[in-house]
A and B are shown apart, each in its own frame.
Chain A
Amino acid sequence: MSRVSRRAVLKAGFAAALFPWVRGALAQTPPPPKLLLVMQTNGTHPSAFWPTRTNFTSPILEAVFADKAIGARTTVVKGLFNNSGGAGNEHDQGFAGLFSGRKTIGTFADPWGDGPSLDQQLKAKLDFTEPYPTLNTAVLASTAALFKASRWSFSYLGSRRQVPAQIDPWKLYATLFAPGAGSADAQRRLLQKRSVLDFVRADLGALKPALPSADRARLEVHESALREWEKRLQAALSERAGPPQCRAPLVPSDHVDLTDEENVPTLVTLMFDFQALALGCGLTRIINFQLGQAGERWRFSWLGLSEDSHDEIFHRDDGVNQVVAQKSIKIHQWYAAQLAGLAKRLHALPGVNGSLLDEMLVVWGNEMATGPHGMAGIPVVLFGGAGGRLTTGRLVDEGPQTYHRLGTSLLNLFGVPSAGFGEQPNCGPVIGL
């Protein structure tokens, strides 16, 4: 078991004082809000999760509300249900459904998402200046053998077209923080790469018309990736703006095994550090992040537990068994502490009229409502104000609402006016949000 100590190298970069350029550069127009979609698995323990309007905290969310600044920027959405069904079981249905608004297709053993997820819908509709408009990330270290390959990612470009997630934080650093060229050679290098791009594009263009439309759509994904690459090559002509933390952040040096479950806490910390920095430095605008595969079986040894949590804890977490309930709550408190830590990192970064957290949104969702596959009362917590578009510090509790409404609200918050989401084009936004 190799576990690196909590790295301090990145934390230093989050002091707002080190980021004066952000305030300067963004002085006038409010920047488009940034979005971080987080997917947890296996539901929650409802009686310990939900706050009330009068007592806006809960045993599970204690870590969130312990910090007044974070608590004031938190919105809890109660009452969402997903009764759509679909291929696979509730893990698959919620995992691929929550942020796509579509029920899964395929078979029980081979279920897939059936439409674009929110990140990709926004990418298709909005203009981006960031080198990576969207990033799909995950911590997938697990003792459990993979059950269904589709449980590795909840980001979809379209039906069955899954965007793979990057699980390696070191590669993410190397990719996003590659130093800009900024030299006299850069222009010529760009021209050379353009000649490669021209060649590749001509080949793609010649192939496309001959193919069935499904294949043409896949080539459009390819073409889009080439366009993003070209933009990044162009951007590399100039030195990256900002202080040294953004040009060349200190990359954590101690590699850990990306498949060893014992490294989950380390990997989650590294991913959240990276995500805050990538959003704060303007390198990406939308991030998807999943904590484990759908239906994850982590044993949570770092909490002193040792069982297959899916079978022995979450499935048995029926509200009656108190021994199981204690373990379940302990695990959900750990998740809440991780998310509270993320919110703090984002709040420590400056925005225009407040912190980065104020002008963005973290959506902490879950594939299910409860461990025994309950689908009514999916726990959803929002951090941040999306640039003043959202009134925070409150519980939204307007009775049962279909989960599709969350997607509608998010589309509208992020500048894509919409009456509905996914399979429910007219469902409207979350009532009360």
Chain B
Amino acid sequence: MRLGVWGSLLVAACRPAPEPVPVAELPEVPRQLRRLSNAELDEVASELAGRPLKLAEGLLREPRVEGFENDAQSLLVTDLKLDDFVAVAEQVSAEVVSALAPCGGEPEGCALALVGDFVLRAWGRPLSEDERGRLAVVYRAGALDGHPEGVRLALQAVMLSPHFLYQVELAGDGRLSGVEIASALSFLFTGGRPDAKLLNAALAGRLDDPQERVNQAQRLLDTDRGRLRLRQTLSAWLELDEMEQVSKAPEKYAAFTVQVRRAMAKELDVYLDDAVWGASGTLAGLFSSTRAFPHPLTAPFYSGDLLGPPGDFTPVVMDPAHRRGVLGLVGFLAHHAAMDHSAPVQRGLFVRTRLFCQDVAPPPPSVLLNPPSQGDPTRTNRQKYADHSLRPECAGCHAQMDPIGFGLEHFDTVGRYQETDNGYPVDASGELSNTDVDGRFEGLPGLAPRLAESAQVRRCFVKNLWRAAAGRYVGLPRSVQPPKDASMISMLLDVVYSEGFVRRTPGDGR
């Protein structure tokens, strides 16, 4: 049993460290090579260049899987993608060489010393003797055009090597090596390769100790970079990425400008930071807090639900009779809506798949799928979706989504609270089924406490954390049962603490 571990790790620094209990509740995943995502490439390359390169915009856009962009199975090195990597290697190597210090000794020795340091940051591990010898060959080929050219070519070889392009998890004896653990930790908590402290801990063999992994994770989390990365992970889970790209029917929602969307994105960030690092730190707080962080640009979309004036993303209490938690933020609501209506099916699907980790069956073949027309002024949006429950071929699946989404019908497509829809009173009664918090509820103030107390939502959260760490589809055994007061950080640290974090099955590889 490790229930005692939940919740205690956050405060490991001020309480006695928990006994490292060898447990493996997290299912092991196969050893793998996981290609760096665009964002990770940007992070690592920027670190090597010593300045932010802001590469992501120019790189080939790649699929996200279940919201996450680090899926090992989907990230490939295709023709055009290799061109991306070649271009980045050429850019970074040129920048490094342009600042090349004069070599005081024998040029090849200087080059290999520099390349060795570069590899520590690029691959997250030291060069082997064999690799050093082979890089010397590359250097000599380039050095025909002079020492800087030799260095440049060797750096390019480093940055086109699979040891750079992939997070390598060979797990020779079924367990990640120290440096492999260091990269696993680092990509999860910073999106980049290990820093010197983490690498030293790895090389000293300390990362086999789960408590040391937790200590390192806490250290990385407590940086701007670490907090940003955690926000990104939460945003991937909650489908909050690319808030700036969310747009609405321009003739009806002219006020929903890009400046507003940027402010909503910032507000979501501030909210997530507060939810994670603030007083509660629990999922219950994430889903039921009444503290919003509005800006004068976003405040109008709260339509009177703010019980104080908006500042520069400073806390303001929301009317608890209308809004609770992250699902009550205008940014979330606008992100989870159609271009010109509230999209109860989409919102219900979000709760079902992202918060409860349940699947929804696809529509049967040949069903005439007619989303209700927004041109019909005689009914509320909810009434327009009534067909779903009337038609037996639709009812089965839509019962998994619509009754949840209907509970958010007080919020229109840009997150404004509405008492009426098309002039008729809004019916925001909803119902949860097939969950551990089943039953009817009334509006978001009824839904939010259910999400806050659901053990299934907590397990789903851990599953998403494990997905973010493993970079692949994962299951989650029922034995993972974080208690209600477990903080989000403690659940994250427990992933790191787990044996599953460092063990890999061989698959059918040798």
Contact = CB atoms under 8 A, between A and B. Distances in A.
Nearest to A209: B510
A306 interface: yes
Interface residues of A, number: 81
B63 A164 contact: yes
Contact of B63 (A152, A198, A297, A307): A152
Given A110-B65, A210-B510, A312-B375, A225 B365 contact: no
> Chain B contact residues (Cβ within 8 angstroms of A): what range?
35 or more
Contacts of A85: 362, 365
Interface string A138-173: 001001111001101100010011111111100100
A203 B374 contact: no
Given A153-B63, A196-B138, A214-B73, A143 B339 contact: yes
A132 B163 CA distance: 26
Interface stretch (B77-85, B200-208, B457-465): B77-85
Interface in B241-269: 242, 245-247, 249, 251
Interface string B128-141: 00010011011001
B145 interface: yes
Nearest to A104: B362
Given A211-B31, A297-B339, A188 B144 contact: yes
Given A109-B359, A191-B141, A195-B157, A132 B79 contact: yes
A199 B160 CA distance: 9
Interface in A175-216: 175, 188, 191-192, 194-196, 198-200, 202-204, 207, 209-216
B335 interface: yes
Interface string B325-368: 00000000001001110000000010001000001111101111
B48 interface: no
Contacts of B223: none
Contacts of A389: none
Contacts of B369: 89, 315, 372-373
A160 B349 contact: no
B81 A207 contact: no
Contact of A164 (B58, B78, B247, B507): B78
A65 B454 CA distance: 62
A26 interface: no
Nearest to B246: A145
B370 A315 contact: yes
Contact of A145 (B86, B153, B157, B245): B245
B357 to A, nearest CB: 11
A67 interface: no
A373 B77 CA distance: 34
A228 interface: yes
B81 A225 contact: yes
A162 B63 contact: yes
B146 to A, nearest CB: 12
B479 interface: no
B373 interface: yes
B120 interface: no
Which DSSP category, helix, strand, loop or mixed, fits chain B's interface?
Answer: loop
B508 to A, nearest CB: 5
A30 to B, nearest CB: 26
Contact of A202 (B61, B134, B370): B134
B60 to A, nearest CB: 5
Contacts of B72: 215
Nearest to A373: B369
A243 interface: no
A108 B72 CA distance: 21
B359 A207 contact: no
Contact of B242 (A145, A198, A210, A373): A145
A67 B37 CA distance: 46
A162 B74 contact: yes
Nearest to B364: A85
Given A136-B80, A153-B63, A161-B73, A143 B247 contact: yes
Contacts of A162: 63, 74
A417 B82 CA distance: 31
A144 B157 contact: no
A308 interface: yes
B104 interface: no
Given A144-B339, A145-B246, A203-B161, A222 B79 contact: no
A316 B374 CA distance: 11
A157 B365 contact: no
B365 A219 contact: no
B315 interface: no
A200 B338 contact: no
Contacts of A202: 134
Interface of B: 30-33, 35, 58, 60-66, 72-74, 76-83, 86, 131, 134-135, 137-138, 141-142, 144-145, 149, 153, 156-157, 160-163, 168, 170, 242, 245-247, 249, 251, 335, 338-340, 349, 353, 359-363, 365-371, 373-375, 506-510
30 contacts: A83-B366, A85-B365, A108-B362, A109-B349, A109-B359, A110-B65, A132-B80, A152-B63, A161-B76, A164-B78, A166-B80, A175-B83, A192-B144, A195-B157, A199-B134, A207-B168, A209-B509, A212-B31, A212-B507, A213-B507, A215-B72, A218-B33, A222-B162, A225-B77, A225-B81, A225-B82, A259-B245, A311-B371, A315-B371, A375-B366
Interface of A: 83, 85-90, 107-110, 132-136, 140, 143-146, 149-150, 152-153, 157, 160-168, 171, 175, 188, 191-192, 194-196, 198-200, 202-204, 207, 209-216, 218-219, 221-222, 225-226, 228-229, 259, 297, 299, 306-308, 311-312, 315-316, 318, 372-375
Given A143-B339, A165-B61, A222-B77, 11 more contacts: A89-B362, A107-B360, A108-B353, A149-B63, A188-B144, A200-B161, A210-B170, A210-B510, A307-B249, A311-B338, A318-B368
Q: Which 6 pairs, one residue from A and one from B, show the smallest C-beta to C-beta distance?
A: A212-B507, A195-B141, A222-B77, A149-B64, A225-B82, A149-B63
